[in-house]
Amino acid sequence: MVTTRANGASISIDRLEKRFGAVRAVDGVSIDIAAGEFLALLGPSGSGKTTVLMSIAGFDFPSDGRILIDGADCTYTPANHRNLGMVFQRYTLFPHLSVLDNVAFPLKMRGLAKAERHARAAEALATVRLAGYGDRRPAQLSGGQQQRVALARAIVYRPRVLLMDEPLSALDKNLREEMQLEIKRLHSQLGITVVFVTHDQGEALTMADRVAVLKDGRVQQIGPARDLYERPATLFTAGFIGEMNFLPCDAAAVGDTIEVRVGTAGRWTLPAGVAVDPLAPGERALLAIRPERVTLAETGASNVVPARVGDIVYAGAALLVIGTAEDGTELRARLPGAADLRSLKPGDTVGFHFPAEAILLYRAGPAR
Amino acid sequence: MTAAARPRLRFLSSDGRRIGTAATMLLLAPFFALLIFAFLYPLGRLLAVSVLEPTPTIDNYVRVVGNPVYAKVLLRTLWISGLVTLLALVLAYPVAFVMTRVRGVVAAFVTACVLLPFWSSVLARTAAWAVLLQREGVANTLLQWLGITDAPVRLLYTEGAVVVAMTHVLLPFMILPIYGALRNIPPDYMRAAALLGAGRGRAFLEVMLPLSLPGVASGSILVFLTALGFFVTPSLLGSPQEMMIATLISQQIREVLDWPFAAALVGVLTLVVSLIALAFSKAVRFDRLMRAEA
Amino acid sequence: MRGRLDPSTLMLNAAVYAVLAFIVLPIITIVPMSFGENNYLEFPPTGFTFAWYAEYFGDRRWQAATMLSLQVAVLTAIAASVIGTMATYAMVRGARGLGSLFQVLLIGPIIVPHIALAVGLYLFFQTIGLAGTLPGFVIAHTVLALPFVVFTVAAAMSRVDADLEAAAMSCGASRFTAFRLVTLPLILPNVLSGALFAFIISFDEPVVSFFLTGIRDKTLPRRMFDDIEQNLTPIIPAIAVLLTLLSVAILLGAYVLRTRAERTGLASADD
């Protein structure tokens, strides 16, 4: 689902490294971004995602590695010569200028005459649906409106890349969803390359063509949302994206099929493809499954873990059943709201059924 | 770009939130140059004179402390400064206290009164006191009217005149820090004390007073240190037999022309002031302003 | 707690008013004294005349002293605000490292008694021929005024979002252009009020001027000092009144600048 239009520039991040003394904020990151692609850099704080963005922007010069934009080496080009658009976390509009002058500012830097500056700035404001707000001051606008002005300012000079540093984290939830759609719309309309930093995985999954998950300065996985969600490549990604149940087990035999011993739930035979990490017989492993793939069944059947029900949470569209297995692991099952639970109540013992096709198997231990 | 190009770039250029080292040094150069040329060096040279002239010796300092005349000047300076500080504290605290309690027009009036001294030069105020303390001046008239004295008393050119006038000049410097400290005490503390059974007097003594001590400390240090080196008021209102150290320094330079000795006096004064300031450096909060994260 | 009329509150209020009277009355007596007819100072004054004001404006030497003080003050204001703003910007936005040295040098002129600095500068300037000269006065007063300029400008700079210049740079501005078009307009009120403080500090400064003054070129405070010592006439209160009016005007100007700054442009972008 990558849109490739001529308006975007390709970006190549080549073995980027950023060291602060002994700390490696970015540790060998390589990503190739296609022209016109919407890429999200996703990760917890300290993962290095902002540093990568700042290196692309030219605000941070890396310790090693290169940044290529449309094939040209820009690693040490000063930020103001890179002709990129940037939107910051806290809008960063110039408080002493009017909205129109804010948006026209980049055009002023490029030497355009006043009349033309103002005309194009007005156009950009119309694009973000703020036509007519030009005379106001930033302080008179709401958070969402200010962020849209920041967007207008970032695209008014038609850059080929738009960089966004957690631009929606300062907005409240409803506004955030509205702005997400706004940004997506802008992206399809303009066809520029977008690099979007966020710590909110829901945001990344809904907005981006591809998502790069970062942790401790390294890329854990990069790919379309569906791949990340359905087949996370590392334990970290599995736990970071969406909700996931993790059940400790032992790999008993590994071959065409994999046999695992799950506590007191017996031995399960699983297709070899469920193993994401290569496993050796006898190794400790973690069984992972999404809560919405779990169903309730009679205890004793195959692929069923008995658990004592702790809580049943009704949330309109879904029912969340939280239970505790015998080894103490908390398990969650998300069922359709209309499911008939046959008067199940907290304290009862029920079976959590793990369908084989939905299981993922990871090596237990610290994630890489 | 090669690895060799990188270090040069770091020095010259900026990276986003901070400007490069070269630019930083360039911008700071005039500041450091001025302070080194017109502050550190002159002071240092003066202190050098105090130990190097006419021959390398510490005699000048020995004279300062050893000679009873000059030793008395030092002690008198400490004594007067201490007295001024104490007086200022006693007068300032009630004013600062009431300032936290008034609102509206009354508050504006009180603030204007407290800040009024800042709008008139210290020379003007000293001149005013010279007139008020004359033989036929208001102060004498008042004393006689109140029945405290029968005839005009010599008030001017006495230690007392210096103390009163200096207290007058330095009072705002005591009021403002105490007011600042009192203002920062959350009103809940006094309410809590009341709830726990303390009467107003006890609550004040046990809660408010201790919490205001940082302000009292800063104000006192400020007033004391300023008073030690005060020149204008003691020179104009004091008597030549009862000098403070600043007047003595002036006399040594302009009349006696004994530079090394004057330099030693300056050295002693600066040393005492610096030591006290250092010891109480926690009370001086200038570093907070500079802590802005870029 | 307001409105209680018990004895302790009454006594407290009475004490406070007494202290306020102590502060205010001596200063206020200067005004009527400046109109007295006799050529010695008395309170209350006899007669009423503007003669002393006239003498101040007419006397060649008073005017020369005033001119000198004005020139020194203006140059000090310019020097202190430029050097101080540059230094503050470098400290807030610049490479780290010189922080503690800067702070020590900054509060030095405040802690060290003016007389120590005055004597030291006098000695030094004598040997290089700067004593009693315009540049000499300006250098000395700039040192005294710098800390106050730095505090005032630093207060403004700490309120300016560090990312604003980065945003301007992402729009294509060089660092200097970003400073000129974005940061400077936002700190300008504080830079100007810092300059006004520097002006007042220089204009009223008695101690350093006292020692640096030559025989002919006296600053206004130095002349006032001499006259108070030797020839105290009502011209001194007259000059004091004029100086007070000037100070009030300048401090009001600085106050207006600072409150205007808080209202326009420095409101942060969160809501």
**A78–B13 CB contact, under 8 Å:** yes
Give residue ranges of A with CB < 8 Å to any B CB: 54, 57-61, 73, 75-76, 78-79
Q: Is there a domain that residue B111 lies in?
A: no
B294 has pLDDT over 60: no
The pLDDT value recorded for residue A68 is 94
**C269–A83 CB contact, under 8 Å:** no
CATH topology assigned to domain A11-238: Rossmann fold (3.40.50)
> Looking at beta carbons, which residues of chain B come within 8 Å of A75?
1
Say how far apart CA B51 and CA B198 lie, in whole Å: 59
Q: Is there a domain that residue B168 lies in?
A: yes
B3 has pLDDT over 50: no
Q: Do domains A11-238 and A243-363 have the same CATH topology?
A: no
**Mutation for C interface: B28, B106, B170, B271, most C CBs within 10 A:** B28
Say how far apart CA C231 and CA C64 lie, in whole Å: 19
Range with the poorest average pLDDT among B76-85, B202-211, C79-88, C254-263: C254-263
**B259–C99 CB contact, under 8 Å:** no
Provide the residue ranges of all domains of chain A, joining segments of one domain with +: 11-238, 243-363
User: Considering chain C, what percentage of its residues have pLDDT values greater than 70?
Assistant: 93
- Conformation bin of residue A242: beta by default, left when phi > 0, alpha when psi is -120 to 50: left
Which is more confidently placed, A365 or B232?
B232
Q: Is there a domain that residue B255 lies in?
A: yes
Angstrom distances, CA of residue A350 to CA of A8, A266, A321, A331, A359:
54, 16, 10, 11, 19
CATH topology assigned to domain A243-363: OB fold (Dihydrolipoamide Acetyltransferase, E2P) (2.40.50)
CB distance C269 to A138 below 8 Å = yes
**B39–C143 CB contact, under 8 Å:** yes
Q: Domain of residue B266: give its range.
A: 52-93+157-283
Q: What is the CATH number of the domain that holds C176?
A: 1.10.3720.10
User: Considering chain B, what percentage of its residues have pLDDT values greater than 70?
Assistant: 90
User: Considering chain A, what percentage of its residues have pLDDT values greater than 70?
Assistant: 97
How far is the alpha carbon of A83 from chain B, nearest alpha carbon, in Å?
A: 15
The pLDDT value recorded for residue C271 is 27
The pLDDT value recorded for residue B145 is 79
Count: domains in chain B: 1
Q: Is there a domain that residue B247 lies in?
A: yes
Count: domains in chain C: 1
Phi then psi for residue A42, to 5 deg, are: -115, 140
**Length reported for chain B:** 294
The pLDDT value recorded for residue A2 is 47
DSSP annotation string for A68-125: EETTEE-TTS-GGGS--EEE-TT----TTS-HHHHHHHHHHHTT--HHHHHHHHHHHH
Band (pLDDT 50/70/90 cuts) for residue C171 is: very high
Of C168, C175, C269, Cβ closest to residue A91: C269
Say how far apart CA B2 and CA B278 lie, in whole Å: 49
B13 has pLDDT over 70: no
> Looking at beta carbons, which residues of chain C come within 8 Å of B134?
41-42
Mean pLDDT of chain C: 86
B82 has pLDDT over 70: yes
The pLDDT value recorded for residue A104 is 95
Q: How do residues C217-230 score in pLDDT, each as one tens digit?
A: 788 998 888 888 88
**A61–B5 CB contact, under 8 Å:** no
**C172–A170 CB contact, under 8 Å:** no
**A79–C186 CB contact, under 8 Å:** no
**C270–A90 CB contact, under 8 Å:** yes
B210 has pLDDT over 90: no
Mean pLDDT along residues C4-29: 86
SS3 at position A64: strand
Band (pLDDT 50/70/90 cuts) for residue B14 is: low
How far is the alpha carbon of A78 from chain B, nearest alpha carbon, in Å?
A: 8
> Looking at beta carbons, which residues of chain C come within 8 Å of B176?
none
Check: complex ipTM more than 0.95: no
Of B30, B95, B236, Cβ closest to residue C86: B30
Say how far apart CA A42 and CA A219 lie, in whole Å: 10
Q: What is the CATH number of the domain that holds B235?
A: 1.10.3720.10
Q: Which of B167, B203, B173, B202 is nearest to B188 (CA)?
A: B203
CB distance A297 to A351 below 8 Å = yes
Mean pLDDT along residues A243-251: 90
Q: Is there a domain that residue B161 lies in?
A: yes
C109 has pLDDT over 60: yes
Phi then psi for residue A64, to 5 deg, are: -155, 160
Q: Which of A3, A45, A10, A2 is nearest to A25 (CA)?
A: A45
Pull the structure tokens for residue C143. 């040192």
Specify the pTM. 0.82
> Looking at beta carbons, which residues of chain C come within 8 Å of A153?
171
Q: Is there a domain that residue B260 lies in?
A: yes
B287 has pLDDT over 70: no
Q: How do residues B125-172 score in pLDDT, each as one tens digit?
A: 888 888 888 877 778 888 887 877 777 777 888 888 999 999 999 999
Say how far apart CA B153 and CA B136 lie, in whole Å: 9
Q: Is there a domain that residue C194 lies in?
A: yes
> Looking at beta carbons, which residues of chain C come within 8 Å of B40?
105, 108
**Mutation for A interface: C93, C164, C170, most A CBs within 10 A:** C170
Range with the poorest average pLDDT among A182-196, B65-79, C26-40, C78-92: C26-40
A240 has pLDDT over 50: yes
Provide the number of CB pairs (under 8 Å) joining chain B to chain C.
279
SS3 at position A56: helix
Most confident of A138-147, A296-305, C250-259: A138-147
Q: Is there a domain that residue C45 lies in?
A: no
Q: Domain of residue C91: give its range.
A: 60-262
> Looking at beta carbons, which residues of chain C come within 8 Å of B14?
175
A37 has pLDDT over 50: yes
- In B, minimum Cα distance to A61 occurs at B15
Which is more confidently placed, B129 or C265?
B129
How far is the alpha carbon of B9 from chain A, nearest alpha carbon, in Å?
A: 8
**C269–A139 CB contact, under 8 Å:** yes
Mean pLDDT of chain B: 83
